[in-house]
Amino acid sequence: MGKYAFLVNSPLGNPGPVANNLEYARDLDEAGHDVVVFFDGQGTQWIPEAEDNPEGVVHDYYMEARERGLIDGACGYCAAFFEIDDDIEAAGVALDGGSEPGVEGPGDHHGPDVAALVGQGYELINVG
């Protein structure tokens, strides 16, 4: 079976790629593949949007991915930049990267570690 890491970078206002790829992640998971979904860049904004907007296009796909345990996290650096890190943590989604200890602001740690994902055998699928 394959290993796939979806990296969601798509901005708000463009729900098609996000919804489609969350559906693809579900389909791969159903087929027995190892699948993780990570929200990065502008894509981090989809987490509070999907959580708070049950009428939105992405909501049902996102919630199903969460229920399946496919949501692996979000970039803490990017979430801090968009000032949504508290919202993402409140949703129960792990933040990867972010502020350095003792440094005000988002710091310079960016997540996920794509080299580590590839080293673990994941094929990266960038959604943007």
pLDDT in tens, the chain (128 residues): 999 999 999 999 999 999 999 999 999 999 999 999 999 999 999 999 999 999 999 999 999 999 999 999 999 989 988 999 999 999 999 998 765 544 555 455 677 888 889 999 999 999 87
Which pTM does this prediction carry?
0.90
What are the two backbone dihedrals, phi and then psi, of residue 125, each rounded to the nearest 5 degrees?
A: -125, 110
CATH code of residue 7: 3.40.1260.10
Q: Is residue 43 part of a domain?
A: yes
Q: Is residue 117 part of a domain?
A: no
Q: Cβ contacts of residue 28 below 8 Å, gap of 6+?
A: 2, 4, 35
Domain boundaries, position 40: 3-107
Q: For the chain, how are helix, strand and coil distributed in percent, rounded to 5?
A: 45, 20, 35
Overall number of domains in the chain: 1
